[in-house]
Amino acid sequence: MWWQDAVVYQVYPRSFQDSDGDGVGDLRGIAQRLDHIASLGVDALWISPVYPSPMADFGYDIADFTDVDPVYGTLADLDALIAAAHARGLRLLMDLVPCHTSIEHPWFRAHPERYVWADGERPPNNWVASFGGPAWTRDPRTGRWYLHSFYPEQPDLDWRNPDTVRAMQGVIRFWLDRGVDGYRVDAIDRLLKDPQLRDDPPATEPYLLPLDEEHGSLRHDHSRNAPDIGSALAAIRAAAGDAFLAGEVYLPTRELRPYLEHLDVAFDFEFLHAPWDAERLRASIAAALEVRDTAWVLSNHDFGRAATHFGPERAPAVALLLLTLPGPAFIYQGDEIGMEEGPGGDPPLDRFGRDVTRHPMQWEPEPLGGFTTGRPWLPLVDPQRRSVAAQEDDPRSLLYLYRAAIALRRQLGDGLRFEDATPGVLAYRRGEDHVVALNTADEPRPAPPAGELLLSTAGASGGPAPRELAPAEGFVARARV
């Protein structure tokens, strides 16, 4: 399968490239920058939602599953982007959002049976939305309560209703028929809930992944991840056929197995949230390898940028880690030049504070970064400090390292075996011929024995691998014979 060791590049369309000067990125802008994506050596790009939306959740509140929002362009523009990507050997993935719609979707009034409702004077249970607050809102027209796992503007679909399933299967087929190669599937663990709508019990211990404080006060036994989730996943797979499906399953690694019976891969969020610590990273990698078919990701539009999470000085080592693990890896736009989180909107645009992860891509070292000729929807962070153009021809740049690591990745052997290393050093062998070593400590550490140096965060290559690693230094080398 093409995806088994693929690198996928995430495009957040609002912030990638504006082609018409309105300050918002669009489909034609993505097409204009495809050569950059292809030059990285990646296998596919995933574009976050471009469907018509009131933008209560910046595109994840969808008002029409089978069209394009005019702010991004037209269906013809999307068709042209798919064709242009394919011409460059790139597959194109879209975002599938099966859990909910916008409250402005015509289905909400024309087909209320496709949603989760409850009657009564009070909400039927104590469920809490992911962003905090009750997960139930009373509809002023009918007086009934509707469920929303996220914002009140995002009512949840009822996947226990066969009509809902058929409608969403039609959506899946619509885009595949237009040439899309697969989907990143949003919030998939919310697809089925307890049919009896029972209360969630109080949490008795911290969740293994970060949660909103109010959301984390409960153990979500009934409001997500239902025991029969496989029936809904099977319906998605039936419609998708052999198209690639990557699931956003916000669950601990050990709970991913039922999803992977139907999805090709699931993101490993324990890895994404792990600290820069050799033992913690090793444990999260080992857990993922035991489950199998997990996808590696360290940045995205929801959970922040790796350069901020780990520190900008560690960005090269983080890239080396991400791109030398077996299985598919996802890169968030801008990570290849070390973009950090910014100040967000003033006033904030996203109610949950995610503006900071969504600032526009920095192409040129000038105030608007080559992103737009107008007023950008979010300000640029630091284009005069870091940009694609400034790093393009610099063999010591992070961009150069990303390209080199992706190219070298194709030569690494199968599987992963951890190597003995001094505390603070994460070391593993790929196949029989390659060793990867990364120093997560704040002081120099002895490097594991290795042969010829192939790639280093220090900018060197060729000659023998170093015997000592500086803080945040890493390398790929041939194994000693």
Pick the range with the lowest mean pLDDT from 101-105, 202-206, 242-246, 373-377: 202-206
Number of domains making up the chain: 2
Quick check: is 270 in a domain? yes
Q: Per the residue annotation, which of 158, 248, 336, 350 is the catalytic one?
A: 248
According to the model, what pLDDT value does residue 117 have? Answer: 98
Structural domain containing residue 450: 417-478
Same domain for 208 and 345: yes
Residues 341, 427 share a domain? no
CATH code of 444's domain: 2.60.40.1180
Two structure tokens written together for 257: 């197995």
- Centre a 10 Å sphere on the Cβ of residue 109 and count the other Cβ atoms it contains: 12
Question: What's the confidence (pLDDT) of residue 306?
Answer: 96
Do residues 382 and 341 share a domain?
A: yes
91 plus 222 within the same structural domain:
yes
Domain boundary among 357, 382, 409: 409
Other CB atoms within a 10 A radius of the CB of residue 139 amount to 16
Is residue 135 in a domain? Answer: no
pLDDT at 390 exceeding the cut of 90: yes
Domain match, 399 and 259 both: yes
Does 138 have pLDDT greater than 90?
Answer: yes
SS (H, E, C) the chain: CHHHHCEEEEECHHHCCCCCCCCCCCHHHHHHCHHHHHHCCCCEEEECCCCCCCCCCCCCCCCCCCCCCCCCCCHHHHHHHHHHHHHCCCEEEEEECCCECCCCCCHHHHCHHHECEECCCCCCCCCECCCCCECEEECCCCCCEEECCCCCCCCEECCCCHHHHHHHHHHHHHHHHCCCCEEEECCHHHCCCCCCCCCCCECCCCCCCCCCCCHHHECCCCCCCCCCHHHHHHHHHHHHCCCEEEECCCCCHHHCHHHHCCCCEEECHHHHCCCCCHHHHHHHHHHHHHHCCEEEECCECCCECHHHHHCHHHHHHHHHHHHCCCCCEEEECCHHHCCCCCCCCCCCCCCCCHHHHCCCCCCCCCCCCCCCCCCCCCCCCCCCCCCHHHHCCCCCCHHHHHHHHHHHHCCCCCCCEECCCCCCEEEEEECCCEEEEEECCCCCEECCCCCEEEEECCCCCCCECCCEECCCCEEEEECCC
Three-state SS annotation for 378-392? CCCCCCCCCCHHHHC
Listed residue (294, 267, 310, 234) closest to 10, CA to CA: 267
Q: Does some domain include residue 113?
A: no
Residue 118 inside a domain? The answer is no
CB 200 within 8 A of CB 123: no
Mean pLDDT of 114-135: 97
The residue out of 409, 428, 460 marking a domain boundary is 409
Domain containing 243 — which CATH number? 3.20.20.80
Identify whether residues 336 and 473 lie together within a single domain: no
Burial class (CB in 10 A: 0-12, 13-18, 19+), 22: middle
286 lies in the same domain as 344: yes
- Band the pLDDT of 208: cuts 50, 70, 90: confident
In the predicted model, what is the mean pLDDT of the chain? 97
Report the share of the chain in percent with pLDDT over 70.
100
Nearest partner of 413 among 432, 396, 400, judged by Cα: 432
136 falls within a domain: no
Active-site annotation holds for 248:
yes
Give mean pLDDT, residues 447-470: 93
Structural contact between residues 54 and 19, judged by C-beta atoms closer than 8 angstroms: no
HEC string for 429-459: EECCCEEEEEECCCCCEECCCCCEEEEECCC
| Distance separating alpha carbons of residues 418 and 429, to the nearest angstrom | 6
pLDDT band at 481 (very low <50, low <70, confident <90, very high): low
Does 376 sit behind a cis peptide bond, omega within 30 degrees of 0 on the bond before it?
Answer: no
- Report if residue 140 sits inside a domain: no
Q: Would you say 144 and 219 are in contact if contact means Cβ atoms under 8 Å apart?
A: no
Question: pLDDT by residue (tens digit) across 173-194?
Answer: 999 999 999 999 999 999 999 9
Instruction: Please identify which residue in the block is written with the tokens 């009034």.
Output: 109
What's the CA gap between 375 and 263, in Å, rounded?
A: 40
Residue ending a domain, choose from 358, 375, 409: 409
Provide the β-strand partners of residue 436: 428, 476
Tokens of residue 108, six digits: 């909400």
Same domain, 237 and 317: yes
Give strand pairing partners of 185: 96, 247
CA dihedral 348, 353, 354, 358 (to 10 degrees): 30
282-303 per-residue burial string, b: 16 or more CB within 10 A, e: under 16: bebbebbbebebbbbbbbbbbb
The model's pLDDT over 320-335, given as tens digits with 9 standing for 90+, comes to 999 999 999 999 999 9
Residue 400 lies in a domain: yes
Please indicate, yes or no, whether residues 363 and 268 belong to a single structural domain of this protein.
yes
Can you tell me the mean pLDDT for 431-457? Answer: 96
User: Do 264 and 329 have their domain in common?
Assistant: yes
Per the listing, tokens 């702010």 go with 71
Rounded Cα gap, residues 221 and 218, in angstroms = 9
pLDDT in tens, 55-82: 999 999 999 999 999 999 999 999 999 9
Give 32: exposed, middle or buried? Use CB within 10 Å, 0-12, 13-18, 19+: middle
Could you tell me if 310 and 185 lie in one domain?
Answer: yes
pLDDT at 119 over 90: yes
pLDDT grade for 445, boundaries at 50, 70 and 90: very high
| Residue 149 covered by a domain | no
Q: How far apart are the first and last CA of the chain?
A: 32
- Residues 268-283 have pLDDT tens digits of 999 999 999 999 999 9
Q: Which two tokens stand for residue 81?
A: 């982007």
Asked about 186 being catalytic, the answer comes back as yes
Based on the fold, state whether residues 192 and 238 are members of the same structural domain.
yes
Residues near 50 by beta carbon (within 8 Å), at least 6 away in sequence: 13, 27, 59, 68, 69, 72, 73, 78, 94
